[in-house]
Amino acid sequence: MIRTAPRSDQPPEPKNANGPAHMITRTQPHRGRWRLVLRITLAFAVLAAAGATSSLIMVGPGEAVVVTEFGKPVRVLTEPGLAWKLPAPIEGTTSVDLRLRTTSSGLQDVGTRDGLRVLVQAYIAWQVDDDPAHIVQFLRAGQQNPDDVARQLRSFMGSTLQVTTSSFNLTDLVNTNPANARLADLEQALQANLYHQVLDTYGIRIVQTGVERFSLPAETLAATVARMRTERETVAAQRTADGLRIAAAIRSDATRDARVLAARAQEQAANITAKGRARAAQIHAAAYGIDPQLYTLLRSLDTLDATIGPKTRVILRTDAAPFRALVDGPPQAGASGQLEPADAGPTQAGPAQGKPAQGKPGQGKPAQGSPAQGTPAPAPNFRYSDTRLGGASTPPPR
């Protein structure tokens, strides 16, 4: 057996306190095998976790998730929560917003049935229908962007406004009488025309439609104002005529009632006056029956009081009633107890006044102091009376 010396370029074998060197070379391949198995297991776990994560679907509130298999819709998830699918690229997901949105049409120049132009701005409240078939239809229409959907809806609203507004007159849309305004009918007709058209085309459901703004062009505005002014003038003229008619009826009734009341008042006054005069006549008759001379004196004084005022100046005969009482004075009681007139003194007419007449009665001669036949009667005796001097009687001035 030939032994060769170890080469100097080879490293010496390591020494191990536990054993020889060939035992160390046996344990190194065993450890490398376990490390490889551990790495492979960790890789499979990471791949499994990634696959599970990609297979998990989260459906939020107000949205729907469409599961597609190689681009073809196979399922529609509308209930909020977690769901599972095959990992990509086998199955994919697409989210669809189901929340309510609003879109305005802008001012649209449309024509009415009576040939006038108006500016109408309408709005619609819409959302994707939660029916799976309509959701898939919405995706096939390619309208995933809300701005693109709003743009398409504006074009639909513009054409529908043209058709719907042509069925209404301007007075149906603008009217001072709320009973004649049909703006609500226009909104209902607009929604009815848009509902099925948009639902069948895009799978979008119209929730509400309304008129946001209503305006008129310059020429239409002038015509509308003139028409409204004419209507207001007609109404004002009618109300004025009604007021005049009612006022005339009130005046006629008031005049009639006033005449009736005046006639009744005059009738009552006449009755009262007649009764008063009858009562006064009874009182006068009773007073005259008691003392005729005193009654005559008092009536004369009443007549003078009613005739002569505080500034009255009269010239009167003193021997005529009722002014004789101013001269004669009150009657005086005689020897028999009867009232006799006072001596008038020099104011009595005739030269022999107060003396018995001469001659015998029955001879046809006039009494003394009376004018004889063929002889002119003496002038009446006048006195000047000035009531401002306390009623004193003086001869008339010459």
pLDDT tens digit sequence for 281-318: 898 888 888 888 888 888 888 887 888 878 877 776 76
Cα 105 → chain centroid: 35
Q: Please, what is the average pLDDT of the chain? A: 74
- Supply the pLDDT for residue 329: 67
- Supply the pLDDT for residue 355: 39
- Supply the pLDDT for residue 333: 55
- Supply the pLDDT for residue 267: 93
Give the closest residue to 331 by CA, choosing from 288, 289, 293: 293
Strands (E), the chain: 56-59, 63-69, 72-77, 81-84, 91-97, 101-104, 108-111, 117-128, 204-215, 313-317, 332-333, 339-340, 382-386, 393-394
pTM of this prediction exceeds 0.85: no
Long-range contacts of 226-233 (CB under 8 A, 24+ apart): 227/171, 228/176, 231/176, 232/176
Q: Give pLDDT < 70 ranges for the chain.
A: 1-30, 47-54, 142-144, 316, 318, 320-323, 325-327, 329-398
Query: pLDDT tens digits, residue range 203-255?
Result: 888 999 999 888 878 777 787 788 889 989 999 999 999 999 999 999 999 99
- Supply the pLDDT for residue 244: 94
Query: pLDDT tens digits, residue range 34-55?
Result: 777 777 877 777 766 666 666 7
What is the Cα–Cα distance from 233 to 19, expressed in whole angstroms?
A: 128
Domain assignments of the chain as residue spans, ordered by start: 55-97, 101-216, 292-328
Decide yes or no: CATH 3.30.479.30 for domain 101-216.
yes
8 A C-beta contact, residue 324 and residue 382: no
- Supply the pLDDT for residue 270: 94
- Supply the pLDDT for residue 53: 67
For the CA atoms of the chain, what is the radius of gyration?
69
- Supply the pLDDT for residue 256: 93
